[in-house]
Amino acid sequence: MGSTSSYKRIMLKLSGEALKGERCHGYEPAALANVACVIRKVRDMGIQTAVVVGAGNLWRGAMGIGMDQVNADYMGMLATAMNAIAIKETLRQQGIPAELFSAINMAPAVRLFDREAAVNALAAGKVVIFAGGTGSPFFTTDTAAVLKALETGCDIVLKATKVNGVYSADPFKDPAAVRFDRISFDDALRKNLRVMDAAAFSLCRDHGLHIGVFNFSEEGALERLLRDDTSAGTIVS
């Protein structure tokens, strides 16, 4: 199937919660299969696909046990590697080739990030999954996704959320919240809209990297947004 999208290479930022389905934590086979299905549909559009996944299904920081932030963040990085391996294995089971790289050395389980190898894998049509966050504490996986998107020449970062775009307020709390089809970086800053964490958002703004926000649980939303149907989400540019 051909692509009618103007985007040739994308970064998909997934929450770890996308892997747990209805469970409180961990993995649900159907949820993993759904993630692979969404990725396959994008790949079938002819779009090169990179992925960064969070760790919310396995680890939520210090979790009230008195751990310092640095060690808590390193545990989170390890958890993202577990999630990345789970996604890669699910893709393999569906016949989708994938490569996995980590920002921190986890050999032999996960290959250390190599920019040239990652770009070559994307160009060859493989899904490339990045684990280990940025490799440093105090940064979120949003920032990791943006950094890797810039390093590998992605056209847009697609942030999978529980809502169908960027709103003027939390739509779960404010029924009067207004959804934006498109919004500029400057307007998002002026309206104090929390599209991504500040570091990630600033990097996108400074380098002209578009951000797309969509509801991951809405079937077909990602493909529609990639075809410039902004009823499926919001484009920040």
Please say whether the beta carbons of 177 and 171 come within 8 A.
yes
Confirm whether 107 is domain-assigned: yes
Give the residue from 209, 211, 161 showing the smallest Cα distance to 182. Answer: 211
Any domain includes 65: yes
Q: What is the pLDDT of residues 16-64, one digit of tens each?
A: 999 999 899 999 999 999 999 999 999 999 999 999 999 999 987 766 6
Q: What is the rounded distance in angstroms from the CA atom of residue 57 to the CA atom of residue 226?
A: 27
Of the candidates 160, 159, 179, the residue with the CA atom closest to the CA atom of residue 168: 179
Write the CA distances from 19 to 29, 31, 42, 53, 203, integer angstroms: 8, 5, 18, 9, 27
Instruction: Tell me whether residue 1 is in a domain.
Output: no
The pLDDT of residue 221 is above 50 = yes
Amino acid identity, position 230: T
Q: Which residue has the tokens 């966050």?
A: 133
Number of domains in the chain: 1
pLDDT, tens digit, 9 for 90 and up, residues 53-112: 999 999 877 666 778 999 999 999 999 999 999 999 999 999 999 999 999 999 999 999
Position 4 in a domain: no
The full 3-state SS of the chain, as one line of letters, equals: CCCCCCCCEEEEEECHHHHCCCCCCCCCHHHHHHHHHHHHHHHHCCCEEEEEECCCCCCCCCCCCCCCHHHHHHHHHHHHHHHHHHHHHHHHHCCCCEEEEECCCECCCEEECCHHHHHHHHHCCCEEEEECCCCCCCCCHHHHHHHHHHHCCCCEEEEEECCCCEECCCCCCCCCCCEECEECHHHHHHCCCCCCCHHHHHHHHHHCCEEEEEECCCCCHHHHHHCCCHHHEEEEC
Question: Is residue 123 included in any domain, yes or no?
Answer: yes
Task: Establish if 118 belongs to a structural domain.
Answer: yes
Domain extent at residue 152: 9-236
Residue type, 142: D
Residue 50 included in any domain? yes
Looking at residue 64, its pLDDT comes to: 64
pLDDT of residue 66: 77
Q: CATH number of the domain that 215 lies in?
A: 3.40.1160.10
Q: How confident is the model at residue 3 (pLDDT cuts 50, 70, 90)?
A: low
